[in-house]
Structure 1
Amino acid sequence: MTFLSALLPVVFLVGLGHLLARRGLPGPDGWRAMERLCFTVLFPAMIILVLSRAPFEQAPWKIAVPLMAAQVILASTGLLALLWPGISRPAVGSIIQSNSRWNTFVALSLTGVLFQEEGIALTSLAAAVMIPMANILSVTALTHFADSEPHQKRNPVLELLRNPLVIACIIGGTLNALHLPPTGLIETTLELLSQPAITLGLLAAGAGLNLDALKRAGILTVVWSLVRLLGMPVVAVLIAHYGFDLTGVPLVVVAIAAATPTATNGYILARQLGGDYHLMANLIALETVLAIFTMPAILFVFGLLPS
């Protein structure tokens, strides 16, 4: 399957979710509940099932290290925003968060359509390392660059221990290492829970997208959106291929995971921790639209477009 034929259904479902949300089908509470269901139940079930029975041909750390390194490098690059004339400290925190986060739903959907269980398993490995790193970098940056008003403080370690996707990765990886894949009733239950995960996740992602923010997108938003969308995959792929000799499907998964737009839940975190949440909304909206073009461009430049 070509990348375009995998990308278009993803774009369609995100767009459909956004259209339904704008028409109030269902209401905001319904969409929040759906997103929570995907995050706490459906995606963890899929990750546990796939990771527990995945035959990994490449060393997992060859995927993990380049992606984590790319997150740290892009987050550090965000510090250059301090040089932007007139920029506020909360805006710098939001830019650093944007540079370090990724959209798990989009990555799992694309790699699942392209490479089936192998793609989902490898992307789940990416999630196991990128989600903790993104939380550490985001919480640290947002709290450090927050304005003088008091805001809720979060412990990055506790955030990770409570993250259902991280817990699912640990459970699935442990079962794989012990050669104890789920069977019988447990396997059937996990399979039933896994089936709607990607569809509902993409619809919920579209519902949470604020395209009205595109009207406010200025040069600051455009520049840092492009830095994130182009910088992270370029860094990740170069490190993975030339530093760790990664090739084939694992390298494509690295490229896709790094090339996704920043996560939509970054808006909520920015608002809670004193970041510039208006800028964060702008970055999320613009990156989501631009990623439709930058993702295939990155894969084409590196010769990784599936055919």
Structure 2
Amino acid sequence: MISFIYALIPVVLVTILGWLLAHRNFRSVDGWRAIEKLVYFVFFPALIVNVLASASFEIMPWAMVLVLIGSQVALAILGLFAKRADDGPRKGSIIQSNVRWNTFVGLSIASSLFGEPGLALMAIAVAVLTPTANVISVLALTHFARDSGEQKPHVVMDMVRNPLIIGCVIGIALNLLGMAPTGIAEKTLDILGQATLALGLLVVGAAVDIDAFKRAGHTTLTWSAVRLLGFPLVALAAGLLLNLAPDSLAIVMIAAATPTASSGYILARQLGGDATLSANLIAVQTVFSVLSMPVIYALYLLIQA
């Protein structure tokens, strides 16, 4: 448990630093968006390719994959039961909040706790959860949105063009072909990948809207609790049912316990969701995950004891 706290504290501190820099107008809003795009399109894919291409998987952790997707779908279905007053754009934003997760937080903690093997397993979680979250989010937001007359996004094409998914495909393909990057190629990818976690956490902190946190109402607090506790508890139950290996179960729990992704606000705004509610959910979950994640990990340790 102490090791988890030690792994979490630096994540929190770098996230706070990102918020302070943004709050002090160290960079403009456009500047932070440029950094986010650089991480998303260059640094993060480089990290994923390098990790997955070099990972030594004796067998593909299919049980872990099934637990992740099953838990994500279960949380999406749970969002459908939001009270009738939340029908429409609010329900779309609730469902999106339930299924998205913060990859930067998950990767940072997995790397600190378990090193390269943990990073490789978390990269598999990225490959699994990212496309599923995007498909469910787009479908939910567009289905419950008020018709604005604008053209709806093409889900399949968005998946094909997603840089994280492309990175996962390339990394796994290189691994299966026994063509892991070496020498200059490996060093280049390693340098690019090292920038991912620090810049990613700074971007997460910069995106935290304290005003949104202050506006949090009953709906925000309720569904934030559902997301922060419900996702990992469902994943834990499914993982125990399928008898996941301890390292795989730990990665599943960490991924599921992270707060919803800050990118959900932009998507809600673009696709007709309730952008204000999305901002509230992101802010509340990011703050309270500092308390909920240690509790979830303590539960995991108790079960493993």
Q: TM-score range by the shorter chain?
A: over 0.9
1:269 to 254, 258, 267: 267
- In structure 2, do the counterparts of structure 1 residues 172 and 78 end up closer, same or farther at CA, with 3 Å as the change threshold? same
Q: Is the 8 A contact 1:151 1:274 kept in 2?
A: no
Q: Is the 8 A contact 1:143 1:274 kept in 2?
A: yes
Cross-structure match for 2:185: 186
Q: Which runs of 4+ in 1 moved over 4 A?
A: 304-307
Q: Is the 8 A contact 1:252 1:304 kept in 2?
A: no
Q: Is the 8 A contact 2:246 2:304 kept in 1?
A: no
Q: For the residues of structure 2 that align with 1:272 and 1:197, how far apart are their CA atoms? A: 26
Any idea what SS the aligned residue of 1:195 has?
helix
- TM-score, structure 2 as length reference: 0.96
Cross-structure match for 1:297: 295
**Which structure 2 residue ranges, 5 or more long, are not aligned?**
none
Q: Is the 8 A contact 1:17 1:205 kept in 2?
A: yes
Q: For the residues of structure 1 that align with 2:302 and 2:146, how far apart are their CA atoms? A: 43
Report % sequence identity. 51
Give the deviation of 1:88 after TM superposition: 4.1
Cross-structure match for 1:170: 169
Q: For the residues of structure 1 that align with 2:151 and 2:257, how far apart are their CA atoms? A: 31
Query: Residue deviations 1:274-297, cap 9 Å, x none?
Result: 000000000000011111111111
Q: For the residues of structure 2 that align with 1:100 and 1:157, how far apart are their CA atoms? A: 18
Cross-structure match for 2:17: 16
Cross-structure match for 2:201: 202
Give the deviation of 1:205 after TM superposition: 1.1
Q: For the residues of structure 2 that align with 1:295 and 1:306, how far apart are their CA atoms? A: 17
Structure 2 residue 239 is matched with structure 1 residue 234: no
Cross-structure match for 1:69: 70
Correspondence list, 1:208-219, <5 A: 208-219=207-218
Cross-structure match for 1:133: 132
Q: For the residues of structure 1 that align with 2:191 and 2:60, how far apart are their CA atoms? A: 30
Q: Is the 8 A contact 2:250 2:300 kept in 1?
A: no
Cross-structure match for 2:279: 281
Cross-structure match for 1:103: 102
- TM-score, structure 1 as length reference: 0.95
Structure 2 residue 122 is matched with structure 1 residue 123: yes
- In structure 2, do the counterparts of structure 1 residues 276 and 256 end up closer, same or farther at CA, with 3 Å as the change threshold? same
Give the deviation of 1:58 after TM superposition: 5.4
Give the deviation of 1:148 after TM superposition: 3.0
Query: Residue deviations 1:162-197, cap 9 Å, x none?
Result: 111110000001111111110121111111111111
Q: For the residues of structure 2 that align with 1:16 and 1:35, how far apart are their CA atoms? A: 16
Query: Residue deviations 1:34-63, cap 9 Å, x none?
Result: 111111111111110111011124532121
Q: How many residues align?
A: 304
Cross-structure match for 2:146: 147
